[in-house]
Amino acid sequence: MATSNPIGLRIPEQSSPSGVPFYLNDKQVTAWAKELPMANIGETSRQIFQSLRAFNRTSLDAPQRLRSIENFREPLSYVATNLNKHYLGTRFPLSEKSHKIANLNRELHSGMATAYKAVIVDLLTHAQEDGVDRAQLTLAIHRCITYLSKVILLSVIVYDPCPKRTWQELHVCHRLASRYGIGSDQVNDPYEQSEQASTIDQNYTRCLLFSLASPYKMRQKENLQLFDTLLDWSGHTNLYSYEDAPEESSITIHQDSDTAPSHENKSPSIATKYLLILEVSGLLSQMRDHFTDDQESNHSLSGIDELDKGVIRQLIMLWSKAQKRAFVRTKLNFELRIAVGLRSVHKLITLGDVPEPAPETEDQDEATWIDAQFAHGQEMHVEARFSLQPMDVASYNPRRGNFEEFGPNSTDISEMNDEPKLEIWQDDKEQEMDKATCLFTTINESAGGYCLDWRGKEIPKIQVGELIGVQSAMSAAQFGVGMVRWMQTSDDVSMQVGVQMIAPNAMAVTAQLANQSDGQQEKCLLLPEVGTSGQPTSLICPSYPFSLGKTLLIHDRENTQEIKLTRLLESSGSISQYQFVHLDENAAAKMKEDQNDLDDDSDYESLWSTLI
């Protein structure tokens, strides 16, 4: 049971110890730590976890508690590093065991934070007339913020929500440091990645910057790199009271709440007692210098060279101003058939020959030509329709594609039956496609993509930046192409996954380096140009074999084209997306001629998605 106190930090109810436990003496704690069975991570974790729980529930004076808990830090750091191996560099959702291990690691760090909170409460509650011990309070608050920030990090890297009250207690710790004037005092920490001395203000600001970086939209490795880097970067920012902050600064911290910072417009009528403003213009200026030709300025921020430039650009945008949603989000629940990964989507598109027509019925004898095309899926045959020419139809939404093909009309839950009334595809390829795809329910949708409820048995594992194929209801071989932009665990059995749609269809091709005719052919996707959005013709390929400026040979079923990669549009760790130019003018001209032959049906292009 947690106890309340005027300071605002929750600690367990404490009582006198039974017997003489080792943690009452810091020298015995040191001896205990040395005798831990470090080769057995499970047993060592158990002993640390149980000892921390008992320690935090035992009455002890602040100086002794502080000395004892400092000796827990080394074995906990070792155990945490080994526990990380069970869920770092993996795909999601995690197995039940891996998720429990992640929760254990987070609880260990939370227990450390609780021990330092108990020191803070005891120091301030029993302060003598001559005041509180400044050095002990500084160390306790610094360590408490360190472990609370690790709780946030360990939640984010497994895409779990942050535990309740974490932000509230971070804010309380910083307010206490400000009240006693110790926010800028240096504290050494040998277990920080940089092994540098830092201040309470820096530690606190690192948490603010990290939360503003949209960490649920980044991969685990990116989050870990950024978190370590931000301790130094926080020294290039400033915290102001609400009244004293520069007018252009908008990052607002509500220190009387359990919320992370956010961009807000200033209001003259708001209560400002517990409001702070984070000013980041100096940091942003140095980050922008990283993109200049002046090489000397590239090292002004430590660790910036280790971060991907795409991540740096994203950080500049996120820290500069509030990001507005591009499209209205609508709560709709329907099912989408999803394929995960470049290789899977490529294989499914390749498999997708037009199925044989089903035997005609009396109803079909009276059907129109358009009805017949929809019944047999012929109008959606990728090889017949796909083009790298712009899709400039006025009603076409480039991010959404023909939404009805992938949206509610695909499989509306309210209209679902146990068995479909009409099975369109009746061959082995359909069964293979069904095995390679999974049905997921949408939570909401917008013109830009979907939020999916990622749950079920034997569902595919994913990462942020994973390529997703959304199968069309009208053609098994037609896949809209999307990217996983964010993930967050919603409960013990499911995750919420945000998918941005980047193309309404794709062509399966293979590619190889032009100067290696006998080299390995990589499975790739060609995405069409979308004239209404300015999205160029692009090639999606695995992240490792090709690089900017390389000349490739692109093979489809009929043609070979020579292209040069001219611009990197996206790099996620799973795939790379490149803009390119054709080097074979004859092939490009032939492609345009073929497209002109298909343009006879262009007047009907906006009609297909409206026919239900």
543 and 489 housed in the same domain:
no
DSSP at 250: -
Q: How confident is the model at residue 395 (pLDDT cuts 50, 70, 90)?
A: very low
Q: Output the pTM of the full model.
A: 0.81
- β-pair partners for 337: 439
Is 390 within a domain? Answer: no
595 and 556 housed in the same domain:
yes
Is 106 within a domain? Answer: yes
d(CA 191, CA 73): 8
349 and 498 housed in the same domain:
yes
pLDDT at 363: 46
pLDDT at 482: 95
Residue 417 Cα distances to 40, 105, 261, 439, angstroms: 53, 44, 46, 15
342 and 460 housed in the same domain:
yes
Residue 254 Cα distances to 168, 174, 247, 458, angstroms: 9, 12, 18, 42
Is 278 within a domain? Answer: yes
CATH number at residue 571: 2.40.10
Contact by Cβ (8 Å): 59, 14: yes
Residue 581 token pair: 């130019």
117 and 61 housed in the same domain:
yes
Phi, psi of 373 (to 5 degrees): -60, -40
- Our count of domains for the chain comes to 4
pLDDT at 601: 46
440, 472, 503 - which closes a domain: 503
pLDDT at 557: 81
578 and 490 housed in the same domain:
no
**Helices within 90-219 (DSSP H only):** 96-125, 134-156, 166-179, 200-212
Q: How confident is the model at residue 344 (pLDDT cuts 50, 70, 90)?
A: very high
Q: How confident is the model at residue 506 (pLDDT cuts 50, 70, 90)?
A: very high
533 and 572 housed in the same domain:
yes
**Helices within 277-321 (DSSP H only):** 281-289, 309-320
Is 315 within a domain? Answer: yes
pLDDT at 119: 98
- β-pair partners for 560: 555
Residue 398 token pair: 């480039």
pLDDT at 431: 63
d(CA 221, CA 522): 26
In tens, the pLDDT along 75-98 reads: 999 999 999 999 999 999 999 999
304 and 319 housed in the same domain:
yes
Higher pLDDT, residue 64 or 297: 64
Taking all residues of the chain, what is their mean pLDDT, rounded to a whole number?
83
pLDDT at 441: 94
Kindly report the CA angle at 295 between 293 and 299, in degrees rounded to 5? 130
Per-residue three-class SS string for 427-469: CHHHHHHHHHCEEEEEEEEECCEEEEEECCCCCCCECCCCEEE
In tens, the pLDDT along 562-607 reads: 999 999 998 988 899 999 999 876 655 554 454 444 344 444 344 3
490 and 569 housed in the same domain:
no
In tens, the pLDDT along 96-149 reads: 999 999 999 999 999 999 999 999 999 999 887 668 999 999 999 999 999 999
Tally the C-alpha atoms within 13 A of residue 458's C-alpha that lie toward its C-beta. 4
Residue 417 predicted with pLDDT over 50: no
Contact by Cβ (8 Å): 470, 479: yes
pLDDT at 335: 92
In tens, the pLDDT along 144-193 reads: 999 999 999 999 999 999 999 999 999 999 999 999 999 999 999 999 98
Is 91 within a domain? Answer: yes
Average pLDDT over residues 19-25: 92
Is 608 within a domain? Answer: no
DSSP at 400: T
Average pLDDT over residues 368-384: 39
Residue 294 Cα distances to 17, 105, 305, 488, 507, angstroms: 63, 43, 14, 39, 41
Burial 591-600 (b: 16+ CB within 10 A, else e): beeeeeeeee
474, 503, 532 - which closes a domain: 503
105 and 171 housed in the same domain:
yes
21 and 135 housed in the same domain:
yes
497 and 521 housed in the same domain:
no
Average pLDDT over residues 210-235: 96
In tens, the pLDDT along 251-300 reads: 999 999 999 999 998 888 788 899 999 999 999 999 998 887 555 554 57
Q: Calculate the dihedral angle through the C-alpha atoms of 98, 100, 101, 107, rounding to the nearest 10 degrees.
A: 150
Domain that holds residue 28: 1-183
Residue 278 token pair: 């984070």
Residue type, 462: I
Residue in this structure with the two tokens 């260990």, named with its chain if needed: 108
